[in-house]
């Protein structure tokens, strides 16, 4: 089976496309899709209705799909900026990591941060984005000293805001 190929759009922009087997657990929902060629994230849809109560109400929302990522790849579930901006709804465990060996249904853990207004999740609504990336594993080597860098051990807030 062909694992990946290059795709070039009308604007001359080329992207690498990998083939990912997908299992429909809900035949009535459309498959995830990218809005434009070259987009990093494809939309995940809600396979169920739910109400997220105000002030931190959470819901584990089914997407109606399962995928088989190739070895060396992982998927990351990311929030949709419009849901966060307009409704205060985001993914709680961002990013949600999907390892290549996982074969269960993709689910999205949503949280409503609005202090007053409940949020209705509607079936078929775009609730998150799925980003697929090539990943590497590290071999950790114990050492007494780390190589010096300009930044050093400066952490939270050490580079300022300007």
Residues 6 or more apart from 17 whose CB is under 8 A from it? Answer: 4, 5, 6, 7
Residue 131 tokens, joined? 């980003």
Please identify, in words, the CATH class of the domain defined by 20-134.
mainly beta
Q: Does 13 have pLDDT greater than 70? A: no
CA distances from 105 to 44, 62, 82, 139, 140 (A): 12, 7, 24, 30, 32
* Residue range 108-128: mean pLDDT, rounded: 98
pLDDT tens-digit profile of 36-47? 888 999 999 999
| Residue appearing with tokens 């050093």 | 152
pTM of the predicted model as reported, rounded to 2 decimal places: 0.85
Of the pLDDT bands very low, low, confident and very high (cuts 50, 70, 90), residue 153 is confident
Domain ranges of the chain: 20-134
| The pLDDT of residue 161 | 72
pLDDT of 15 > 80? The answer is no
Tokens 């990336």 belong to residue: 133
């Amino acid at each position: 089976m062909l694992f990946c190929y290059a795709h070039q759009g009308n604007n001359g922009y080329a992207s690498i496309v990998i083939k990912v087997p997908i299992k429909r657990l809900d035949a009535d929902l459309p498959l995830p899709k990218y809005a434009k060629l070259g987009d990093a994230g494809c939309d995940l849809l809600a396979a169920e209705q739910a109400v997220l109560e105000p002030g931190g109400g959470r819901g584990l929302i089914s997407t109606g799909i399962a995928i088989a990522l190739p070895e060396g790849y992982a998927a990351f579930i990311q929030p949709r900026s419009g849901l966060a901006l307009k409704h205060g709804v985001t993914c709680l465990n961002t990013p949600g990591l999907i390892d290549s060996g996982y074969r269960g249904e993709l689910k999205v853990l949503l949280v409503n941060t609005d202090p007053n207004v409940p949020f209705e999740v509607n079936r078929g609504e775009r609730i998150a984005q799925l980003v697929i990336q090539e990943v590497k594993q590290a071999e950790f080597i114990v050492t007494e000293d780390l190589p010096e860098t300009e930044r050093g051990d400066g952490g939270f807030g050490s580079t300022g805001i300007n």
